[in-house]
């Protein structure tokens, strides 16, 4: 890992719009990092990346089991909505597949102490799957340029020669392609766009951003919306956190001379080889993903999802809750819970230590 900053546990919350009760959390809960004699009390509210939903549900259950007088609420409203809610003071922290941008960092953060800027802490690493539901097709291989042409609307038929050339022996239907993208501001979209812009810049000529950049295809709200649209549609393709792919087909993407399926190991390898974003505060751990690798042990269509928190909160009680929760989810125990529930890639021991350092300093 090339990050040259320090870090520490922070606080992310989750329960997709549902507050898990202490009773529910005690049923079938995963291991927690805090002792059951906890004296913590209160309510922790967060919102943001829908990619984190499965992990957050398990994190919340484990944390509430260990801290029965704390309620954690996480609304998987999307990365953009989560950052907006956090900036305005509507939630205590945000989950986001995109780090704060320069314009956001230039503004004020209502939940933070005066003149304090929020920081990005990596807590969730996961491959993004290109999912498909195509009649008669079980296996599909695509390179970045072809994926870009499909989602831009340049390739409109499944038996297009460009797709056929990459799938020798596969019978592709003479059917229209329905390409499904996120309709909301989405960090998953930004990561998907960043991959295509880095690997196929001659085709994907728009810089990565949370909104989908082209007026093509079909839009769907949130990760669940994309998965539902691809599942219930005909001859469809979309992109989503790999943990949500379910029974859908998953594209193998070209890396070097091979076609590679999403994997936690391949995603982690890309993050470990990627540098920190330049020009940030020492306690901001945003990562600039390097996606142009030709090493087939890497899976470059990956997202790093963050807990966006205040180094110093205006409300000390909320700071204590954020510190405890984010500390748990970024710990070895918390990362194992996420890996078991969502198939995510645990943070490396080096990155865990950096996040832990930052979290320890929250006040």
Cα 244 to Cα 137, 227, 344: the distances in Å are 20, 7, 11
Q: Which of helix, strand or coil describes residue 362?
A: coil
- N- to C-terminal Cα separation, the chain: 27
Q: Is the dihedral of CA 129, 135, 139, 144 positive or negative?
A: negative
The two tokens of residue 59 are 């994190």
Could you please report the per-residue DSSP string of 109-137? -TTBPTT---EEEEEEEEEEEEEEE-TT-
- pLDDT at position 14 is 36
Residue ranges in the chain whose pLDDT is less than 70: 1-36
If you search the block for the tokens 């029965």, which residue do you land on? 68
Query: What whole-number distance in Å separates Cα of residue 181 and Cα of residue 56?
Result: 23
The two tokens of residue 44 are 């922790």
Task: Give me the half-sphere count of Cα atoms (radius 13 Å) on the Cβ side of residue 322.
Answer: 34
- pLDDT at position 34 is 41
Query: What whole-number distance in Å separates Cα of residue 299 and Cα of residue 310?
Result: 32
Q: State the DSSP code for 242.
A: G
Query: What whole-number distance in Å separates Cα of residue 36 and Cα of residue 27?
Result: 14
- Count the neighbouring beta carbons within 10 Å of the beta carbon of residue 296: 14
The two tokens of residue 327 are 């500390």
- pLDDT at position 37 is 74
CB 203 within 8 A of CB 149: yes
Q: Please, which residues bridge with residue 122 across strands?
A: 306
Strand order from edge to edge, sheet including 258-260: 141-142, 252-255, 258-260
Q: State the DSSP code for 294.
A: -
Per-residue pLDDT of 27-74, as tens digits, reads 444 444 444 578 999 999 999 999 999 999 999 999 999 999 999 999
Helix (H) or strand (E) run with residue 58 in it: helix 53-66
- pLDDT at position 38 is 84
Rounded to the nearest angstrom, the gap between the alpha carbon of residue 246 and the centroid of all alpha carbons in its chain is 17
For the chain, the helix, strand and coil percentages under 3-state DSSP, each to the nearest 5: 35, 20, 45
Per-residue pLDDT of 133-175, as tens digits, reads 999 999 999 999 999 999 999 999 999 999 999 999 999 999 9
The two tokens of residue 298 are 């890497």
């Amino acid at each position: 890992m090339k990050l040259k900053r320090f870090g520490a546990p922070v606080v992310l919350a989750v329960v997709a719009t549902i507050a898990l009760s202490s009773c529910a959390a005690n049923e079938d809960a995963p291991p927690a990092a805090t002792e059951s004699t906890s004296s913590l009390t209160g309510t922790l509210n967060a919102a943001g990346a829908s990619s984190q939903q499965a992990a957050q549900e398990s994190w919340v259950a484990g944390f509430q089991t260990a801290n029965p007088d704390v309620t954690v609420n996480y609304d998987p409203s999307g990365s953009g909505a989560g950052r907006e809610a956090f900036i305005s003071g509507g939630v205590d922290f945000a989950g986001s597949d995109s780090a704060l941008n320069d314009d956001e960092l230039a503004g004020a953060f209502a939940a933070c102490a005066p003149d304090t800027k929020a920081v990005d802490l990596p807590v969730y690493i996961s491959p993004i799957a290109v999912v498909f539901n195509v009649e008669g097709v079980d296996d599909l291989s695509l390179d970045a340029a072809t994926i870009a042409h499909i989602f831009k609307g340049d390739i409109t038929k499944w038996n297009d020669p460009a797709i056929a050339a990459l799938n020798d022996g596969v019978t592709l239907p003479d059917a229209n392609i329905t390409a499904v993208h996120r309709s909301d501001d989405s960090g998953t979209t930004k990561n998907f766009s960043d991959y295509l812009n880095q690997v196929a810049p001659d085709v994907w000529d728009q810089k990565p951003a949370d909104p989908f950049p082209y007026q093509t295809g079909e839009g769907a709200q949130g990760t669940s919306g994309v998965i539902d649209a691809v599942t219930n549609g005909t001859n469809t393709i979309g992109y989503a956190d790999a943990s949500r792919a379910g029974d859908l087909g998953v594209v193998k993407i070209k890396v070097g001379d091979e076609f590679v399926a999403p994997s936690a190991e391949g995603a982690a390898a890309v993050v470990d080889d990627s540098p920190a974003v330049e020009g940030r505060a020492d306690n901001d751990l945003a990562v600039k993903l390097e996606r142009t690798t030709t090493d087939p042990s890497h899976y470059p269509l990956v997202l790093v999802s963050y807990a966006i928190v205040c180094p110093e909160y205006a409300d000390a009680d909320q700071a204590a809750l954020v510190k405890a929760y984010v500390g748990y989810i970024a710990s070895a125990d918390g990362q194992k819970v996420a890996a078991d529930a969502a198939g995510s890639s645990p943070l490396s021991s080096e990155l865990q230590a950096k996040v832990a350092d930052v979290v320890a300093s929250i006040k």
